[in-house]
Homo-oligomer: A and B are copies of this chain.
Amino acid sequence: MKIITISREFGSGGRELGKRLADLLGFDYYDSEIIYSVARECGMTAGYVERALDEHGWQSFPVTFYGTIGSASYVQASEINLLTQQKKVLEEIAALGKDCVIVGRNADVILREYNPLTIFVCADMDAKVQRCRLRAKEGENFTDRQLRRKIKQIDRMRAKTKAMLSDSEWGQRGEYDLTVNTSRWDIKRLAKAVAEFAESFWGDGE
């Protein structure tokens, strides 16, 4: 079984790269599927789980919501439950034994025993701001400065979540087999190049 894990900076195009990689290689693809599965198990909405696990404070979420319930420790306990459930879902995916690409969710460390090809995707700040603009929902109207702050904030939360789960430092070069900067690429062409790289890694066709 071959697993590719994609970790990424917010706005770097890592999700699109992962999806295209899966298409090119004929692998299963997991991203929001994991969220849906966690939500089902926990009896919560997918929207809640996604914001709690993934976006960590992006837009108007946590603080006000948690404030209506109670203490900070409740918040942490709830997040830890979700992380535990997410780990279970990842292990179930791996147990299927099928080649797959998994975006986010710290799959690189959680599924380490399966020797995934671990990829980190980054980009220059300007490129990330631009990508966020292109993907913005209607009515969203952030300044560049706000977007930069939000991008940094989400990445900080991703780093923090990773630090809860392993000693491996988020985004640190030595922790991944490959780190690609998407800034000077069209993602479609980059996906093709990375797919070939992955095939060489596994020694296909040799």
User: Which residues of A are interface residues toward B (Cβ below 8 A)?
Assistant: 120, 122-124, 171, 173-174, 176-181, 184-185, 189-190, 192-194, 196-197, 200-201, 203
Contacts and interface: CB of A to CB of B under 8 A. Distances in A.
A125 B192 CA distance: 31
Q: How many monomers of this protein are in the complex?
A: 2
Nearest to A192: B200
A15 B135 CA distance: 41
A178 B176 contact: no
A120 B142 CA distance: 34
A124 B176 CA distance: 10
A198 to B, nearest CB: 9
Binding site secondary structure of chain A: mixed
Given A193-B197, A196-B197, A203-B189, A184 B173 contact: no
Given A196-B196, A203-B189, A122 B173 contact: yes
Contacts of A176: 179, 181
Contacts of A193: 196-197, 200-201
Nearest to A177: B181
Contacts of A203: 189
Contacts of A184: 177, 201
B179 A173 contact: yes
A178 B197 CA distance: 12
Nearest to A127: B174
Given A197-B197, A200-B196, A181 B173 contact: yes
A177 B201 CA distance: 19
Nearest to A186: B203
A194 B198 CA distance: 11
Q: Which of A174, A178, A196, A200 has the most CB of B within 10 A?
A: A174
